[in-house]
Amino acid sequence: MFFAASVLLSLEFLHNRGIVYRDLKPENLLLDAHGYIKLADFGFAKQIGKDKTYTICGTPDYQSPEVALDQSGVT
């Protein structure tokens, strides 16, 4: 629960600043010397402010089948 809460707090921190972290996967979660989670690899991150984004990106191995096959219904 501690690790999940750490990830949630990290994402909340970014979200409150208008940044979308779009590459959440186990390989991008690192532990520091004190056992806290650190997010890595901000290559897909995007600053959107109050806007929306419809770009599909990320690692296909971690995407849902409908997104990977472009059947999400988003236009």
Strands (E) in 1-75, as ranges, are 19-20, 29-31, 37-39, 46-47
- Tell me whether residue 32 is one of the annotated catalytic residues: no
Measured CA to CA, the distance from residue 73 to residue 12 in angstroms comes to: 27
Q: How many other C-beta atoms can be found within 10 angstroms of the C-beta atom of residue 24?
A: 16
Q: Which residues participate in catalysis according to the annotation?
A: 23
